[in-house]
Amino acid sequence: MNEFAEKLIHGRVHISPKRLGNPGPDVSQKNQILLAANAAPDHGRMMPWRFIEIGQSSRDALGEVFHKCLLDRDQNATTIQLQEAREKALRGPLLLLAIAHYEDDTNEISKEEKLVSLGCAIQNILLSAYALGFGSGLSSGKALQSPRLRNLFNLADHEDPICFITIGTVTQNKLGRIRPSVSDYHSLF
């Protein structure tokens, strides 16, 4: 394997959004990161995904949705928990919402294959960000299944929010991950 590709694939690790700060990607770097998504496998050239960037001016609205979603699930949430829910929307300089897009007039491509394509697009984004010197992390949570979040982003019935992608400069490193051996996930039939 090419040494650069190996370093890129094996060097990238998940960084918690709490550990990602400024500076984030500039406009040119952001475009380079987003262009990496379109190299994902895409049977039928359907592009069964899209990404919404949550700009700084929209972070408070997302934080309010996180706050309300927590109250929907737990009426006894503490003030600290509610504040932490709001603050999740403020983490990291570049915040994207990954959306799976299932609409298919031909019904020839399965939902699962469309999700795999989205996963590959996400991985390309993560690897591209890492190649440019940025850290990145994925986050999800129960708010993703909330009608409140769907309404905030005006999602269509054939779309699902899958995860948030946060990209920025690593402000605090974490311990390296011990990766499984090949025999842990590979077998011969």
pLDDT single digits (tens) 64-109: 999 999 999 999 999 999 999 999 999 999 999 999 998 877 778 8
Distance, in Å, from the CA atom of 113 to the CA atom of 124, rounded to the nearest integer, reads 17
For 154-179, write each residue's pLDDT tens digit: 999 999 999 999 999 999 887 767 78
Quick one: which H or E segment has residue 171?
A: none
Structure tokens given for 165 = 């992608």
pLDDT tens figures, 5-53:
888 888 899 999 999 999 999 999 999 999 999 999 887 777 899 999 9
For 149, the 3-state DSSP assignment is: helix
List the one residue out of 53, 10, 28 whose CA is nearest residue 167.
53
